[in-house]
Amino acid sequence: MKYLLDTNICIYLMKNEVPAAKKRFEQCFYGDVAISAITLAELRYGIESRPESREQNEKALERLLTDLVVAPFDSDAAAAYGRLRAGIHRDQRRKDALDKLIASHAAALDTVLVTNNESDFNRYPGVTIENWTL
């Protein structure tokens, strides 16, 4: 596994909104790209919170899931989360809980975190970021 996709990249791929992200994703082999179980939870929440488009979004998610791996949030990821959260400024500890979990998961898996929200993740130590929308 080389890449862990952030939620926003998954949404772009599901909606076929960003050609650069789609092209980059298509260049990868199965097993190179994963999402965190945390990201899957965010995507499921998004589907459930929009009943008017639930069926369409569910199908888009299922298509995406056939091309990547869902990485379980395990004890290594939990340990990385503890280190990551302890290593950031006290004022930032209460913000962006899910981002911290996803960032720590990428660090634990030693993968590149692919996101369009670089500013949300660049303050976390030990996380390598790539933006596939450029």
Q: pTM for the full model? A: 0.91
Q: Are 77 and 39 a contacting pair, CB within 8 Å?
A: no
Q: What are the chain's domains?
A: 3-130 (3.40.50.1010)
Amino acid, res. 100: K
- Helix extents (H) in 2-128: 7-15, 19-26, 37-48, 54-65, 75-86, 97-109, 118-121
Residue 94 has what pLDDT?
54
Q: Is the pLDDT of residue 93 over 60?
A: no
Span 24-50, pLDDT tens digits: 999 999 999 999 999 999 999 999 999
